[in-house]
């Protein structure tokens, strides 16, 4: 198979294992491309992509923009902070206006869960979900699982603990779907207040003790505390969170095995991860960033090849 089964990438929940495998395979070849002296290929030279970000983002937008430019696409960037959305324009009107300028693909981040799904029902362009509220962040899950695959050679049977703020994390949900589809075992770990009530129904283990989670897992995917998505206090203080759920070198040294540490960034240093872990040989955080560009190149390239 050399074509994705879907025209959009809205989430991991509804894509097939075969689609994910094709994305991995294509990402491998793009990783090779971005490590050459000339990091650019002409594949998408006749395509225009709009990055429509209704929510602040630095690394995801940068990663998408770099992926698009390395595929030779024309890129337009839109952020809601300096746009007509502030004047009361609807999402559909905003995107339709962008599409009237002959845009072929839309990469969208929105604070409302389901916003890209809504858009996909009303417009013709390919849509890539770059994060919708607390719902999904499919390309992050694809790059995370690709990074684990690269490090461990397989996803089958690999034990992954997702540690931290699961409740407010779209990364956690997409990662759970992707890891389960590809045969990994998943555990979530965090304070009770940051674990959604439905979480065990997704077929994951639940653990409140971070040391037990570390002892169980091969990979610890540590999430950032999403302070900007919390209207109320879910724990007494950052210091207390750090004491109970922060990971430091001493904890890793107590384990009888070497585990891989991941983090989608940006890291709250000293809160969820200490610098002696984030900068250690255990961490593959910068590999995740590099793989992010390759995986996003693969997604955009493959979606552009889907015939209507």
Partner 1 sequence: MQKKLILDTHLLHITVDRLCQQLIEAHGDFSETAILGMQPRGIHLADMIHQKLEEDLKTKIDLGYLDTTFYRDDFRRRDTPVKANATKVPFIIENRNVVLIDDVLFTGRSVRAALDAMIAFGRPKKVELLVLVNRKYSRHLPIEPDFIGKDVTTLESQRVLVELEGGKHNKIWLINKEEK
Site string for partner 1, 140-179 (x = CB under 8 A): ----------------------------------------
CB 273 within 8 A of CB 251: no
For residues 26 and 28, give the distance between their C-alpha atoms in angstroms, rounded to a whole number. 5
DSSP bridge partners of 187: 161, 205
For residues 9 and 107, give the distance between their C-alpha atoms in angstroms, rounded to a whole number. 9
Stretches 7-15, 76-84, 173-181, 297-305: which one binds partner 1 (CB under 8 A)?
297-305
Lookup: tokens for 244: 């109970």
For this structure, is 137 an active site residue?
Answer: yes
For residues 106 and 67, give the distance between their C-alpha atoms in angstroms, rounded to a whole number. 14
For this structure, is 59 an active site residue?
Answer: yes
Q: Which of residues 53-112 bind partner 1 (CB under 8 A)?
A: 71
For this structure, is 60 an active site residue?
Answer: yes
Q: How far is the CB of 31 from partner 1 (least distance, A)?
A: 11
Site string for partner 1, 25-64 (x = CB under 8 A): xx-xx--xx--xxx-xxxx--x------------------
Stretches 92-100, 204-212, 228-236, 298-306: which one binds partner 1 (CB under 8 A)?
298-306
Q: Which is nearer to partner 1, 258 or 307 (CB)?
A: 307
Candidate list 18, 59, 212, 250, residue with the active-site label = 59
Q: Which is nearer to partner 1, 201 or 308 (CB)?
A: 308
Q: Which helix (H) or strand (E) holds 33?
A: helix 17-34
Q: How far is the CB of 41 from partner 1 (least distance, A)?
A: 4
Q: How far is the CB of 45 from partner 1 (least distance, A)?
A: 9
Lookup: tokens for 257: 């095995």
Which residue carries 């207040």 as its tokens?
A: 193
CB 274 within 8 A of CB 248: yes
Stretches 20-28, 126-134, 187-195, 286-294: which one binds partner 1 (CB under 8 A)?
20-28
Lookup: tokens for 307: 């015939």
CB 73 within 8 A of CB 30: no
Helices 285-304 and 138-152 cross at an angle (nearest 10°) of 120
Q: Which of residues 247-266 bind partner 1 (CB under 8 A)?
A: none
Q: Which helix (H) or strand (E) holds 117?
A: helix 115-120
Candidate list 31, 70, 137, 296, residue with the active-site label = 137
Helix (H, G, I), strand (E, B) or coil at 293: helix
Q: Which is nearer to partner 1, 2 or 237 (CB)?
A: 2
Q: Which is nearer to partner 1, 66 or 202 (CB)?
A: 66
Q: How far is the CB of 173 from partner 1 (least distance, A)?
A: 30
CB 50 within 8 A of CB 76: yes
Helix (H, G, I), strand (E, B) or coil at 197: coil
For partner 1, the binding residues (CB under 8 A) are: 2-3, 25-26, 28-29, 32-33, 36-38, 40-43, 46, 71, 301-302, 304-305, 307
Supply the residues annotated as catalytic: 59-60, 87, 109, 137
């Amino acid at each position: 198979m050399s074509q994705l089964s879907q025209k959009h990438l809205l989430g991991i929940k509804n894509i097939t294992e075969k689609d994910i495998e094709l994305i991995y395979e294509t990402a491998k070849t793009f990783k090779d491309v971005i490590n050459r002296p000339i990091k650019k290929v002409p594949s998408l030279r006749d395509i225009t992509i709009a990055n429509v970000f209704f929510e602040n983002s630095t690394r995801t937008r940068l990663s998408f923009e770099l992926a698009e430019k390395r595929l030779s696409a024309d890129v337009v960037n839109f952020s809601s902070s300096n746009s007509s959305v502030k004047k009361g324009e609807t999402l559909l009107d905003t995107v339709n206006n962008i599409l009237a300028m002959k845009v072929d693909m839309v990469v969208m981040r929105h604070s409302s869960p389901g916003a890209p799904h809504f858009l996909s029902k009303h417009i013709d362009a390919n849509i890539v979900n770059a994060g919708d509220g607390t719902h999904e962040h499919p390309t992050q899950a694809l790059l995370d699982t690709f990074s684990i695959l690269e490090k461990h050679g397989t996803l089958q049977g690999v034990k992954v603990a997702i540690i931290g703020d699961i409740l407010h994390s779209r990364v956690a949900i997409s990662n759970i779907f992707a890891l389960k589809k590809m045969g990994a075992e998943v555990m979530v770990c965090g304070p009770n207040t940051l674990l959604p009530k439905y979480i065990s129904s997704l077929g994951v283990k639940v653990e409140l003790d971070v040391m037990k989670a570390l002892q169980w897992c091969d990979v610890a995917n540590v999430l950032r505390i999403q302070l900007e998505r919390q209207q109320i206090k879910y724990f007494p203080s950052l210091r207390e969170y750090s004491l109970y759920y922060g990971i430091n070198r001493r904890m890793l040294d107590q384990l009888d095995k070497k585990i891989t540490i991941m983090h989608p960034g940006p890291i709250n240093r000293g809160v969820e991860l200490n610098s002696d872990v984030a900068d250690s040989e255990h961490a593959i955080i910068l590999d995740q960033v590099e793989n992010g560009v390759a995986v996003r190149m693969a997604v955009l390239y493959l979606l552009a090849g889907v015939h209507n």
